[in-house]
Structure 1
Amino acid sequence: MKKLNSMADLEGVRRLLKDQRLEAERQEKLRLEAERKQREEAQLFQRQVQDVTPLPNSNRKVHDPNKPPPIARQRELDDAHVLQESISDDMDVERFLETDDKLSYRRNGIGLEALKRLRSGKWVIQAQIDLHGYRTEEAREAVGEFLRTCVKHDVRCVRIIHGKGLGSVGKEPVLKDKVKRWLVQKDEVLAFCQAPPRDGGAGALLVILKAKH
């Protein structure tokens, strides 16, 4: 301990001890006040819930709320594409057809050899749609959806069975000419021709579709 040499030194020590005592008393008061507030808050909570009956433990598992179903973006895009298409039943399809007995069609840039191979059955039919029993509007939508699905799955050659009209009024094929009009307006279609007899003859068309990529 430091040696006290004068009354001034003694007085300084007294003041230091007094300050330490006062600080200790202040800290104790703060502690007691905090404990008092904590007790009062606990008592207030107990009074608020004293009439509440606790639920029995039923081992229930609380699940997260069901997430909203995902938005089918691609389907929305496909539907928008359908709305943007303008497929007319009245367009003059004859000017697009080859002047052969099969009334074939090929888009600009498609070689004649591809059409010859299609007529001769060299292309393998990978999918088909049968329009028997369809009304015009139903057939139009079905053909559009069929072609888009085929392109999406990289199907290159398909058959569209439109029928010969044997069951129609007047025995005239209702969909035969309409299907040709629809196909020449479809970006997916590169070429088509009447099917050979073994694949439906005058009641069907063979169609070449563009590649997926």
Structure 2
Amino acid sequence: MTEEEQLFAEEMSGVKPLQSELRVALKKSVADAKALEARREAAVATRARINFLAENEVQMLDGFTLLEFQREGIQHGVFRKLKQGRYPAEARLDLHKMTVEQARQQVFEFIREAMALDLRSLIIVHGRGHNSKSGTSVLKSHLNHWLPQIAEVQAYCSAQPQHGGAGAVYVMLKKSERKKQENRDRMSRGRVNP
């Protein structure tokens, strides 16, 4: 043993190790569960606010191109009624004189708010691009690129002339869970379960 080790051993001769439990008992409280639930809700809300609409690889369209899109599962009769303008617009967004980035933000927020309010039938006015230097309808092209990216958008198509024609689109949103339940309740009233 070196001189330093011997000196250390002499200094530590009367010292006893501290006694401690090997495990720490954790008590989960109701407050912890509430805090965890609040964190989960905040994470979901934050995810919902993130604008995921992409701006790359946009196919540029002219002002007279008619837009049309429907997801699988949308009935042909429903889509035909949408194209005929037979669903009254519950909300309207006008994108005239906006930059692409402003329009991107407005479209995202508009759809999000419409879903929160249980709206299903919307109209978005994008214009035909008459003032565009490129000769294309920039906002129309971007809107045609963005709307299919939003899962809540079930279908859209160019509007009837009285609602803006090729310068606007009718948009049909997915039915919210609350509205679906209301329909189920309404349909089941008066029925007797066997």
- Deviation at residue 75 of structure 1 after TM alignment: 8.0
Match of 1:90 among 34, 57, 78: 57
**Aligned length in residues:** 136
Within 5 Å, give how 1:108-123 maps onto structure 2.
108-123=72-87
Amino acid at match of 2:133: V
- Deviation at residue 82 of structure 1 after TM alignment: 3.8
Which protein has the larger Cα radius of gyration, Structure 1 or Structure 2? 1
Amino acid at match of 1:87: A
Given the alignment of the two structures, is residue 174 of structure 1 paired with residue 141 of structure 2, yes or no? no
TM-score, with normalisation over the residues of structure 2?
A: 0.62
- Aligned equivalent of 1:204: 168
- Aligned equivalent of 1:80: 47
C-alpha distance in structure 2 between counterparts of 1:167 and 1:92, whole Å: 19
Q: C-alpha root-mean-square deviation of aligned residues, in Å?
A: 2.6
Unaligned segments of structure 1, at least 5 residues: 1-70, 95-100
Identity, in percent, stands at 33
Indicate if the aligned counterparts of 1:153 and 1:212 stay in contact, CA closer than 8 A.
Answer: no
Q: Deviations over 1:142-169 (max 9, x none)?
A: 1011001001101110001111111222
Change (3 A) 1:138 1:78: farther
Q: Deviations over 1:42-86 (max 9, x none)?
A: xxxxxxxxxxxxxxxxxxxxxxxxxxxxx9x97874442243735
TM-score, with normalisation over the residues of structure 1?
A: 0.57
Change (3 A) 1:134 1:172: same
Within 5 Å, give how 1:102-141 maps onto structure 2.
102-141=66-105
Runs of 4+ more than 2 Å apart: 73-89, 91-94
Given the alignment of the two structures, is residue 156 of structure 1 paired with residue 111 of structure 2, yes or no? no
Which structure has more helix as a fraction of its residues?
A: 1
